[in-house]
Amino acid sequence: MAVKLEFKGRDIDEAVKAACRKFGVERDALDIDVVSTGSTGIFGLLRRQSVVRACLKRSEESRATKKGRSSAVKPGAAPKDVAAKAKEPVAAPAAADDAAKPGRAPRPKRVASVPVPAELHGKLQAELAEILQLMGMESEIVISEEKDKTRLEIIGPHVAALQERDGQALDGLQYLLRKMTSSIVPEEAMFVVDAGDFRARRRAELQELAIRLADEVKEKEGSRTIPPLNPSERRIVHMALQDDTAIRSRSVGSGLYKKVLIYKPGSQRRRSGRARSGRSRTSRK
């Protein structure tokens, strides 16, 4: 069995790309184990890298050897590996669920979000202002209502600092404020904590990233992973891809922040089928 080397990165994709560069192959030619998915930490602190172990798949390792053997086979003689393959059970074809069911399966209906009731605006404003003051980032809070949510915009000299690390400080503030006001703010009421035009720019960036990675999956096979996102940002990604019937996206991981996996319909099933087939062949040896 080949020894697997360890590779690290800010996320799984970066670690896998490092492995691909090391071996000089595409990711489909590697046998990859995820050791750690990493962590974004708290407000961008205590971040941990993603770690994978990888080696060449058996087919890649033995390709050159097989070519040499095949050239040395006498005319009329059947190569041993061909005879062995003839004895192996033929893998069942991939299920045709995706072909039989055109289009994407309907998603469960979401409860429509609404802005926070006007009588609670003062409470939200005061709580957020107090948190920022305790952080040494005293700022002005301006509240406005949009179609389906309430927006709390932070104005002052600390806007740039709050936008760093993909806005993790803003996400943390929003999470804390939601927890602190959960007893008075209705569950369906939605609010966002913003600074400058960060949320609008972040939405555009995520939509562009989702479409680019989806195109890569369609062109190069395999799957792509977006680093951990909060629930609202994951929804932006899923919504950006929901009309593309050639692609699927799902959240993976646990906790508030989860990664988003982008893949082709049926690719996960075929991969698991190959893994089961490999285990069954191993058990017969």
Q: List the structure tokens of 130.
A: 């107090």
Q: Please compute the mean of the pLDDT values over residues 51-78 and round it to a whole number.
A: 62
The more confidently predicted of residues 159 and 98 is 159
pLDDT class of 98 with cuts at 50, 70, 90? very low
pLDDT digits (tens, 9 = 90+) for 123-149: 999 999 999 999 999 999 999 988 888
Q: Please compute the mean of the pLDDT values over residues 183-211 and round it to a whole number.
A: 92
Residue 85: the pLDDT is 44
Which of 66-70, 82-86, 122-126 is modeled with the greatest confidence? Answer: 122-126
Per DSSP, what are the bridge partners of residue 177? none
Whether 44 has a pLDDT exceeding 70, the answer reads: no
Pick left, alpha or beta for residue 256 (phi over 0 → left; psi -120 to 50 → alpha; otherwise beta).
alpha
pLDDT class of 41 with cuts at 50, 70, 90? low
The set of residues, in sequence order, having a beta carbon less than 8 Å from that of 6 and lying 6+ positions away, is: 35, 51, 52, 53
The C-alpha atoms of residue 43 and residue 163 are separated, in whole angstroms, by 11
Residue 216: the pLDDT is 92
Residue 114: the pLDDT is 86
The C-alpha atoms of residue 241 and residue 222 are separated, in whole angstroms, by 17
pLDDT class of 121 with cuts at 50, 70, 90? very high
Determine phi and psi for 34, rounding to 5 degrees: -85, 115
Residue 60: the pLDDT is 58
Which of 54-63, 76-85, 98-107, 227-236 is modeled with the greatest confidence? Answer: 227-236
Q: Strands, DSSP E only, in the chain?
A: 5-9, 30-36, 50-56, 140-145, 150-155, 191-195, 224-229, 248-252, 258-263
Whether 273 has a pLDDT exceeding 70, the answer reads: no
Query: Do residues 50 and 14 touch, judged by C-beta distance below 8 A?
Result: yes
Residue 142: the pLDDT is 94
